[in-house]
Amino acid sequence: MPRAGLDSFRGAFLSGLVLVLFAGCIEAQIDRATLTGTVTDPSGAVIPNAKIECLAETTGLRTEATSNSKGVYLVPGLAVGEYEVTVSRAGFSPVQYKDVLLMVGDTRIINVQLKVGTIIETVNVQSLPPLQETSPEISGVINNQEIRSLPVNGRNWASLLLLAPGALDDGGGDQRTIRFAGRARDDNNYTMDGIDATGIQEQAHKSTTRLQISQEAVAEYRVSSMLYTAEHGAGAGGQVDLVSKTGTNYFHRSL
């Protein structure tokens, strides 16, 4: 092959590889949460270069970000769970939020106002602003407490899909019979930790064997019935995004 043709082939191959890897990164975000907002001073002026620290309360994992020139910060890709969020900037008293709950698929907006002061003077905020909906998506989250506490026939986590808006049951009360917003059962799409878990070949024949996931392995999941974003593109029905349990710094068990 001539060198020019070889270089063109190599360039096309590398470009395709980058697109595939980038697409995988985008898809993986559907099992995560995002924290965003604007940092201002008491006069309403934006504060750039403010430091945002998100500390996962169960694992101790720390994620940091910085506000931009418009005072806006963005912390994407956060695992679900509770966080301690601290916002600080030189010349201002830090503000700290505790027990910030992030659920799968959330985009939580917390606008922060920093007051002039010293780093030693930390302002602890007891109440969080209400969760703001930034999307027309019709969806609901089945959280860990519901999975653990509600009676489930056969310990099948999918029975709780009926708690989601737009859910319709043809009789069995599991993923073989539940559909959403008038769509067919085989239009549903499932992901586990951001990875497709639906089974795209002969779905109807495999409906009794796919998604054999233990209820003990599921931390929570979001069910999007309609008007979801383009990152859900594998099916026109309900989009079910499951998140598995993760380890913590504390011993725990279940019966």
pLDDT digits 0-9 by tens, 148-165? 899 888 888 889 999 999
Instruction: State residue 124's pLDDT score.
Output: 76
192, containing H or E segment: strand 189-192
Instruction: State residue 10's pLDDT score.
Output: 55
Instruction: State residue 210's pLDDT score.
Output: 55
Q: Which residue, among 176, 178, 155, 174, has the nearest Cα to 165 in the 3D structure?
A: 178
The radius of gyration computed from the CA coordinates of the chain, to the nearest angstrom, equals 22
CA distance 102 to 80: 5
Q: What does the domain layout of the chain look like in residue ranges?
A: 30-125, 138-244
Q: From the CB of residue 110, how many other CB atoms can be counted at a distance below 10 Å?
A: 21
Instruction: State residue 134's pLDDT score.
Output: 66
Instruction: State residue 23's pLDDT score.
Output: 44
Q: Name the CATH code of domain 30-125 (choices 2.30.40.10, 2.60.40.1120, 1.10.3210.10, 3.40.190.10).
A: 2.60.40.1120
**Which CATH fold would you assign to the domain 138-244?**
Ferric Hydroxamate Uptake Protein; Chain A, domain 1 (2.170.130)
* Residue ranges in the chain modelled with pLDDT below 50: 1, 6, 9, 14, 17-28, 200-203
The single-letter code of the amino acid at 186 is D
3-state secondary structure (DSSP) of residue 177: coil
